[in-house]
């Protein structure tokens, strides 16, 4: 794929790397993609950022947490109810299109949707963890 060609960010995420680089990634297919992404970009450490767009039509079945850095979540379409576990209490934030929230480093979070919703995520994937909901 030519570097100047338009591409679908929901299929081909990008990595914001050291030196202000933007590196298009291979097509995102399956959960193992994230492990391969980590191996490809590990040299950037916590300063590297993964930029993805995901669409959801069901509530998430896991919680996730990013220990190495904050995550920006921007609702692009639909409505997303994001839950953040902060100091043992759950804080809920409703996102409408163009609204954003930050998941601070180390905060477990999950989301509910009642219909199709799409969000932009910018995060350091380094050391991310998941647990059942």
> Which band of pLDDT confidence, cut at 50, 70 and 90, is reported for residue 4?
confident
The architecture of the domain spanning 14-126 is Sandwich (2.60)
> What is the rounded distance in angstroms from the CA atom of residue 79 to the CA atom of residue 64?
19
- Structure confidence by residue, pLDDT tens digits, 64-118: 999 999 999 999 999 999 999 999 999 999 999 999 999 999 999 999 999 999 9
Sign, CA dihedral 85-82-110-104, equals: negative
Q: What residue spans define the domains of the chain? A: 14-126
How much is the pLDDT for 88?
A: 92
Q: Is it the case that residue 43 has pLDDT exceeding 90?
A: yes
Q: Give a three-class secondary structure readout of 6-48.
A: CCCCCCCCEEEEHHHEEEECCCCCCCHHHHHHHHHHHHHHHHC
Contact 123, 69 (CB under 8 A): yes
């Amino acid at each position: 794929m030519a570097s100047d060609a338009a591409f679908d960010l929901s299929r081909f995420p990008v990595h914001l790397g050291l030196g202000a680089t933007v590196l298009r990634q291979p097509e995102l297919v399956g959960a193992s993609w994230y492990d391969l992404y980590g191996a490809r970009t590990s040299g950037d450490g916590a300063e590297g950022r993964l930029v993805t767009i995901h669409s959801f039509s069901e509530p998430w079945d896991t919680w996730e947490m990013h220990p190495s850095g904050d995550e920006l979540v921007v609702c692009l379409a639909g409505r997303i109810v994001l839950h953040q576990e902060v100091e043992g209490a759950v804080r809920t934030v409703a996102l409408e299109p163009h609204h954003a929230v930050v998941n601070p480093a180390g905060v477990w979070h999950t989301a509910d949707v009642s219909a199709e919703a799409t969000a932009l995520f910018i995060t350091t994937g380094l050391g991310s963890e998941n647990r059942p909901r």
